[in-house]
A = this chain, B = another copy of it.
Amino acid sequence: MNVTIVAFDKFTDIDVFLPWDLLNRVKFRNKDWTVKIVGTKPVHRSVCGIELPMHGDIAECNTADIVFFSSGPGTRELIKDKNYLQQFNLDPERQIICSMCSGALILAALGHLDGLTATTYPTATEQLKSYGIDVVQEPLVIHGNIATAAGCLAAIKLVSWIIDTKLSREIREDVIASIQPVGQGLECIY
């Protein structure tokens, strides 16, 4: 089972790194689980200025089991870039396709939100509506294998749903318990 987290220039730091850390914790419970951060260049720069080396190209999304679009100001350029969008050949019948915050714009640009409700960061709401999407004020919106989440900490809900769907409730509980504050639910995963 493999996950690709899609990054790009001007990605929101926490919307890559929080799911990245959480999804890597699954490996403590399932050895057949890989996570890669993918992009279109060897290195993408975050909003806050981290120069992040990629683990692979976005082409890897087309064969991934879970495709996770991160967010950030960079999405506004990508949704206008036909060459970028054409490289994705995703299929919600066989893949989980999901997004954090303004990553929903890419899902919309790829046509995966047609006829669905979705959530996004408030600064992207009007642009998402321009695709004909019914934008709702929810942390996580799920339709089959397609999910949108918004507000950085909603990544925890989105990752929980991914693990529940692809693995088990037990693994999800272990992963989420492993990041709780001490004295407030923390359980070590290793």
| A contact residues vs B (CB 8 Å cutoff) | 12-14, 17-18, 20-22, 24, 35, 37, 47-53, 55, 119-123, 137-140, 149-154, 157, 178-186, 188, 190
Q: Is the CB of B13 within 8 A of A138?
A: no
Q: Which residue of B lies closest to A43 (CB)?
A: B53
- The docked-state distance in angstroms from the alpha carbon of A140 to that of B182 is 8
| A138 to B: closest C-beta gap in Å | 5
B188 touches A139 (CB 8 A): no
> How many angstroms between the C-alpha atoms of A12 and B179 in the bound complex?
11
Expressed in whole angstroms, the Cα–Cα distance for A138 and B181 within the complex equals: 8
Please tell me if the beta carbons of B17 and A179 are within 8 angstroms of each other in the complex.
no
A99 to chain B, nearest CB (A): 12
Copies in the complex: 2
- Neighbouring B residues of A49 by C-beta, 8 Å: 55
A185 to chain B, nearest CB (A): 8
Contact B14 A151 (CB under 8 A): no
Q: Among A18, A51, A157, find the residue whose CB has the most chain B CB atoms closer than 10 A.
A: A18
How far, in Å, is A23 (CB) from chain B's closest CB? 9
Per a CB cutoff under 8 Å, which of B12, B154, B182 touches A151? B182
* Contact, CB under 8 Å: A181 / B21: no
Contact B182 A137 (CB under 8 A): yes
A139: B residues at CB distance < 8 A: 181-184
In the bound assembly, the distance between CA atoms of A123 and B35 in angstroms comes to 25
The residue on B at minimum CB distance from A16 is B17
Min CB–CB distance A184 → chain B (angstroms): 6
Question: In the bound complex, how far is the Cα of B186 from the Cα of A157, in angstroms?
Answer: 15
CA distance A188 to B185 in the complex (A): 29
- What distance in Å separates the Cβ of A8 from its nearest Cβ neighbour in chain B? 16
Give the distance in Å from the alpha carbon of A2 to the alpha carbon of B186 in the complex. 31
Task: State how many angstroms separate the Cβ of A71 from the closest Cβ of chain B.
Answer: 12
